[in-house]
Structure 1
Amino acid sequence: MFLSGTAALLALTTLLPPVNALENGVARLPVLGYNTWNAYQCNIDQDLLITTATLMKSLGLFDAGYQYVNIDDCYAELQRDNTSGRIVPDHTRFPNITAMNDQIHAMGFKTGIYSDSGWLTCAGYPGSFENEALDAETFQDWGFSYLKFDNCNFPYDDIIKQGMIGKYERMATALADLATTSGKPPFVFSLCEWGWSQVWLWAQDVGHSWRVTGDIAPQWNSLASIINFNSFITQATDFSGHNDMDMLQLGNGGLTFDEAKSHFTAWALMKSPLLIGTNLSRITDDILDILKNTEILSINQDSVVGKSISPFRWGINPDWTSNSSFPAQYWSGPSQNGTVIMLLNTLSHPADMSFNLIESPWIRAGRQYSVRDLWTHTDNGTAVRSFTAKGVPAHGVVALLLKDAGDEPAGLSPPCVVGQCTAQP
């Protein structure tokens, strides 16, 4: 869908200054891990979680940096305990959730849990409204250190009497108080708010990541729509605060191999949390290789530069055009090791993709740059003034790392590639 009327408004949002991020000692970098929802939804039990953690170790995902094993909805009994008021794990499927966590922690992983800002979760299990402090304590007692917090079944206005910020601040306050009283590190707090109330403008003071759209699907049109939306709010991502583009859908069917590479590349380079949502017992070697691309992961986990890549040219559309089917194609951003470039072919056929180097604000005029291909893992010579990627596959991606390689050769003409320039007066 083409949304020409929103271009000016979306452009304006990129001029807004970023809010100070929540700095409490955890989740400075995007979280890497696993989440049960996309592969299993409610068909989960503690054996599945232990098996998943075991597979993450044996498949090399732990060594690649994936640290969290997270349960989503449906793990609880439908009613709280009558005496304590606490959420109760499903007696059949999670007979000893603490022992499960102990076993997963022994493998080196951390674990995450799910709740909701409303009366009930999205699947109808107990939510945390008016029980925020009790639930935070319960989750910590069970051994969790990450909380995904959803946005279903919230109270009527005359009961809650708060805006969206207040809804999430209730649990944020409970988690902060718990860290103070328990002496344990704060929870990683992931807001699943779906972007309804410009979450990227306020959530930095409340949580560590925030969902910016509705649920992802393993289809190119879903990926393109999320990339398009996120292209206008990349300034909201930096250390300790990340636009969450939802879970990785690699290996769940519906995506070509090139689309899967584009999915992973865009999520990683835009510094989204990377939570695998795939049945790991069925994962193929090619998808596993995508998830373990250490050169891409190192940019997502850059400890010096926390910024997302951003578009420097939209490509087939005029700049600042919102088009959920054909998002921006030319992206760049800084890293501690050079300038990151992403070329995204949004067309349904292969295409050559070219750009002038200084179209990226991170590239210096009058310099040449070495070119590292982050997917072929090869050094591809030196780029002078421009670069062309030949035959980028349909819905495919090229990811490059450009490093300054000194002055460009003397005598090049014209004296400047773009814009107006003059000789010394």
Structure 2
Amino acid sequence: MKTICLFFCLLLATYTSIKAQDSTAMLCATPPMGWNSWNLFEEKVSDSLLHEIADAMVTNGMKDAGYKYIIIDDLWTGGRDNKNRLIADPVRFPNGMKAVADYVHSKGLKLGIYSDAAPLTCGGVTGSYGFEELDAKTFASWGIDYLKYDYCNAPEDVTTAFARYKKMGDALKATGRPIVYAICEWGQRKPWLWASAAGGQLWRTTWDLRDTWQSNNKNLTGIMEVFDQQEGLTQYAGPGSWNDPDLLMVGLYGKGSSSNAGTNGKGCTPAEYKSHFALWCMLAAPLIVNSDLRHLSAETLQLLTNKDLIAVNQDSLGKQAETIYKKEDIQVLKKELANGDVAICILNRSNSPKSGLLSLQKDLDIWKPFTAAKEVFQNKTVKKTDKLSYQLEAHACTVYRMMR
């Protein structure tokens, strides 16, 4: 019976996925960009902190670069009131969540919130199971624009997961408010096959990402482990439907108890953060930052607001990059763009520097003529060329935009 139910669930998802994608294409038409509270602040998230983060996103130029969501993660709730409505922690949110939303909206930004498809969240506070319709209405009444919906403390089978996620997805739609729905079940049940049919605009594809380049530990997910798990998922990405390889570690530098659990505690190098950000842009992944926006270094801010990389990520065609070359620790990704341009990322996975020259035709099997190639980190444009050069330190990458 379980096998039959699983087959029916996946069949239903396949049958309705195109219709579901069409109906959500205007909501989250490009990968969402914003900030999340979890790794740095956890239970310390508060209205005053969110005000400061929203202010920083505006003043440091991130809003102008395309970032717009301020997302509250777990441990914000104070339980339910006598009418079973969720309430925010009264100490950290003394004026309630609608006041937070109003402030964020006054800055021209959007507010996201978190819940779980079980009685308790991952952090052990009140979840939404059994109260989906009420909670969706509550979120809408507060002015919430984005829901991250987790799956801790819930049954493992895909049939139940689909049913629980769809119930919340339907409840969100019924409110009439456009709320981006981020399905967070960590990729165990292959959500790329059914999450769109459940109402989601994005879905996690892996366990939580850690602030390390490569863990070499099956119980941890470094940037390379998560990146490799995106292979084969290209066909499931597109406007209104995004594979989500988790939050950006850029700029954490070892801060944040969750992102550093089990790692060396030092975080990544500047070159690794640059590659991390570039790869997520190539993958058409959500760009959700974890670092403290109030205290970003000039180098981190410059990376996070790189207009050429963001343009690749936010391209309206919505293509996820695919690997077209992999040899001797050099990996090359190609991402087609809406205007006919092509983005090429050359990644050095080695622990030592690498340099070389790649032929577009012979090495990369790209035969389309281009008038110029722009290297986006150095902001240099090379006239018509049929070869791409690279000189990369360990774990670094270079990104070219090939222009028609």
With structure 2 as the length reference, what TM-score do the two structures score?
Answer: 0.86
Question: How many Å apart are 1:18 and its aligned residue?
Answer: 12
Match of 2:280 in 1: 267
Which of 177, 186, 189 is the equivalent residue of 1:194?
A: 186
Change (3 A) 1:147 1:368: closer
Q: Matches of 2:165 and 2:136 in 1, distance apart?
A: 13
Secondary structure at the counterpart of residue 384 of structure 2: strand
Residues 19-418 of structure 1: pairs in structure 2 closer than 5 A? 19-20=17-18, 22=21, 23-24=23-24, 25-77=26-78, 79-81=79-81, 83-96=82-95, 97-154=97-154, 162-179=159-176, 184=177, 186-206=178-198, 207-221=200-214, 222-253=222-253, 254-303=267-316, 305-316=317-328, 329-337=331-339, 338-358=341-361, 359-360=363-364, 363-364=366-367, 367=369, 369-384=371-386, 386-389=387-390, 391-404=391-404
Q: Matches of 2:17 and 2:141 in 1, distance apart?
A: 32
Match of 1:414 in 2: none
Secondary structure at the counterpart of residue 383 of structure 1: coil
Residues 10-21 of structure 1: pairs in structure 2 closer than 5 A? 19-20=17-18
Cα deviations by residue, 1:21-61 (Å, 9 ceiling, x for unpaired): 53333111110111101221111110000000001111010
Cα deviations by residue, 1:259-302 (Å, 9 ceiling, x for unpaired): 01001001111111111100122210000000000011011111
Question: How many Å apart are 1:314 and its aligned residue?
Answer: 2.3
Q: 1:57 is matched by which residue type in structure 2? A: V
Question: How many Å apart are 1:156 and its aligned residue?
Answer: 8.8
Match of 1:320 in 2: none
Question: How many Å apart are 1:142 and its aligned residue?
Answer: 1.3
Q: Matches of 2:393 and 2:51 in 1, distance apart?
A: 38
Cα deviations by residue, 1:92-128 (Å, 9 ceiling, x for unpaired): 0011221121111111001000000111110011111
Q: Matches of 2:16 and 2:134 in 1, distance apart?
A: 33
Q: 2:332 is matched by which residue type in structure 1? A: Y
Change (3 A) 1:368 1:153: closer
Question: How many Å apart are 1:72 and its aligned residue?
Answer: 0.5
Native 8 Å contact 1:34 1:70 kept in 2: yes
Q: Matches of 1:156 and 1:300 in 2, distance apart?
A: 33
- Percent of pairs identical after alignment? 32
Greater Rg by CA: 1
Q: Matches of 1:312 and 1:295 in 2, distance apart?
A: 21
Cα deviations by residue, 1:405-424 (Å, 9 ceiling, x for unpaired): xxxxxxxxxxxxxxxxxxxx
Q: Matches of 1:257 and 1:156 in 2, distance apart?
A: 38
Question: How many Å apart are 1:232 and its aligned residue?
Answer: 2.3
Q: 1:84 is matched by which residue type in structure 2? A: K
Q: Matches of 1:101 and 1:353 in 2, distance apart?
A: 51
Change (3 A) 1:18 1:282: farther
Provide the aligned length of Structure 1 versus Structure 2: 364
Unaligned runs of 5+ residues in structure 1 are 1-15, 317-325, 405-425
Q: Matches of 1:297 and 1:259 in 2, distance apart?
A: 18
Q: Matches of 1:112 and 1:308 in 2, distance apart?
A: 24
Secondary structure at the counterpart of residue 175 of structure 2: helix
Q: Which deviates more, 19-28 or 294-303?
A: 19-28
Q: Matches of 1:296 and 1:124 in 2, distance apart?
A: 38
Match of 2:6 in 1: none
Question: How many Å apart are 1:360 and its aligned residue?
Answer: 4.4
Question: How many Å apart are 1:19 and its aligned residue?
Answer: 4.7
Cα deviations by residue, 1:167-189 (Å, 9 ceiling, x for unpaired): 2111011111122xxxx3x2100
Q: Matches of 2:364 and 2:155 in 1, distance apart?
A: 47
Native 8 Å contact 1:26 1:240 kept in 2: yes
Q: Matches of 1:132 and 1:88 in 2, distance apart?
A: 15
Change (3 A) 1:131 1:382: same
Match of 2:5 in 1: none
Match of 1:411 in 2: none
Q: 2:87 is matched by which residue type in structure 1? A: V
Secondary structure at the counterpart of residue 229 of structure 2: helix
